[in-house]
Amino acid sequence: MNREYKKSRVARRLTICLAGLLACLLFSGCDYSWRDLWSRDNPKPNDELVVEKGDGEGEGDVIFQGAVEYTGQPHSGTDIYYVGKGERKNYIIVIDPGHQLRANTDLEPIGPGSDITKMKVAGGAQSAAGLTEYDLNLSVSLMLRDILIQRGYSVVMIRETNEVDISNAERAQIANKYNAAAFIRVHANANTDTSIRGVQVLCQSPDNPFPCNKTYAESRLLSELMLDEYCNATDLRRLSIIEDDTMAGINFSNVPTAIVEMGFLSNEAESRSMETAFFRRNAAEGMANGIDAFISEIAEESETHTSDTDTQFSTIDKMAE
Ligand SMILES: [Zn+2]
């Protein structure tokens, strides 16, 4: 994170604060909340101004895909593809809002060909005040979607409602299907020790026994950048990157993957923050900044090493260390 960038962020926040104040002064009764300012500045993709539902031929069209074929059973959800309009439209970012309304306790292998199995989708965490992880994850993911579309990326949403049934392995298969430039899995944490707070980002280890081993360097770099930018934007405590080889949503992925654990729902102060639209907007912006930083790195790499994949990987690996 360079200082110029931090300065410009501070300047931008100040400008937004002043604009908010001005809006309150201009409109009698001060009817505009942060959420209103946010949604007016960032129209939802279903607004005609940004994208239209279409046949997929036009830029910005939303394409509703059918169920994804998978080695197990097809899921009952749909993946939703927003075709980008900007310079970065060729980079498809797949966003996975973690969990869903109901857990699916059927089992699936934790990786391709593995004998070890795990529940298809766990129920997710919940705060003492009743904030559910699946709701929070979706809310932040929808904001992230809007920011990425505004920045010109193509975006695939694994879900836009809570009423789906999509296993973790299937979610990774969707990212593979689109050959995602980055697969971002949005989660929140919980611990029996309620004093624990802060942010963790998960990816595979260099010793991962599944094919996702090949994308370790990129996933690690993506995770580092996501952690840095997310913590800068939210001011939450930076815990660490965790390398974990037990997650089907990582092990089935062939693309750069990061699980962002946005904070601890089990911690009172952190869960209260996560209830607010203000926090969620910063969280989404932080993740978008992390994605921007990652795409800039890989774009630079592919410019300097267009024909030498091995060199690309070793260079990225060094940068990640
Ligand atoms: Zn989770």
Reply yes or no on whether the pLDDT at 50 is more than 80: no
The string of pLDDT tens digits covering residues 301-314 is: 777 665 444 443 33
56 CA from centroid of ligand 1 (Å): 32
User: What letters, b where the CB count within 10 A reaches 16 and e where it falls short, cover 158-180?
Assistant: bbbeeebbbbbbbbbbbbbbbeb
The mean-pLDDT minimum among 9-18, 87-96, 171-180, 243-252 falls in 9-18
Q: What pLDDT, on a 0 to 100 scale, did the predictor assign at position 302?
A: 76
161 CA from centroid of ligand 1 (Å): 16
Angle at 162 (CA atoms; ends 158, 163), nearest 5 degrees: 100
Q: What pLDDT, on a 0 to 100 scale, did the predictor assign at position 249?
A: 97
The mean-pLDDT minimum among 39-43, 136-140, 172-176, 213-217 falls in 39-43
170 CA from centroid of ligand 1 (Å): 16
125 CA from centroid of ligand 1 (Å): 6
End-to-end, the C-alpha distance of the chain in Å comes to 16
Label residue 78 by pLDDT band (50, 70, 90).
Answer: low
The mean-pLDDT minimum among 260-264, 265-269, 278-282, 316-320 falls in 316-320
CB atoms within 10 A of CB 7: 10
Bigger pLDDT: 207 vs 4? 207
132 CA from centroid of ligand 1 (Å): 10
65 CA from centroid of ligand 1 (Å): 25
Across the range 270-290, mean pLDDT stands at 97
Q: What pLDDT, on a 0 to 100 scale, did the predictor assign at position 30?
A: 30
242 CA from centroid of ligand 1 (Å): 14
State the helix-helix crossing angle for 309-320 and 277-304, rounded to 10 degrees.
140
Reply yes or no on whether the pLDDT at 159 is more than 80: yes
pTM for the predicted model, two decimal places: 0.74
77 CA from centroid of ligand 1 (Å): 19
DSSP character for 67? P
Reply yes or no on whether the pLDDT at 105 is more than 50: yes
Q: What pLDDT, on a 0 to 100 scale, did the predictor assign at position 71?
A: 31
Across the range 109-130, mean pLDDT stands at 95
58 CA from centroid of ligand 1 (Å): 35
Q: Where are the alpha helices (DSSP H) in the chain?
A: 3-26, 34-41, 133-150, 168-177, 216-234, 248-251, 268-274, 277-304, 309-320
168 CA from centroid of ligand 1 (Å): 11
The string of pLDDT tens digits covering residues 183-200 is: 999 999 999 999 999 999
Q: Cα-flanking dihedrals φ and ψ of residue 11, to 5°?
A: -60, -40
Contact (Cβ atoms closer than 8 angstroms) between residue 80 and residue 186? no
Q: What pLDDT, on a 0 to 100 scale, did the predictor assign at position 305?
A: 60
Q: Which two tokens stand for residue 307?
A: 């024909």
Domains and CATH numbers, the chain: 54-320 (3.40.630.40)
Across the range 74-87, mean pLDDT stands at 68
What is the average pLDDT value for the chain, to the nearest integer? Answer: 78
140 CA from centroid of ligand 1 (Å): 13
Q: Report the percent of the chain where pLDDT is more than 90.
A: 59
121 CA from centroid of ligand 1 (Å): 9
Q: What pLDDT, on a 0 to 100 scale, did the predictor assign at position 314?
A: 36
Dihedral sign (CA 43, 46, 47, 48): positive
113 CA from centroid of ligand 1 (Å): 24
260 CA from centroid of ligand 1 (Å): 9
CB atoms within 10 A of CB 189: 20
288 CA from centroid of ligand 1 (Å): 19
| The amino acid at 158 | I
Reply yes or no on whether the pLDDT at 265 is more than 90: yes
Across the range 35-60, mean pLDDT stands at 33
314 CA from centroid of ligand 1 (Å): 32
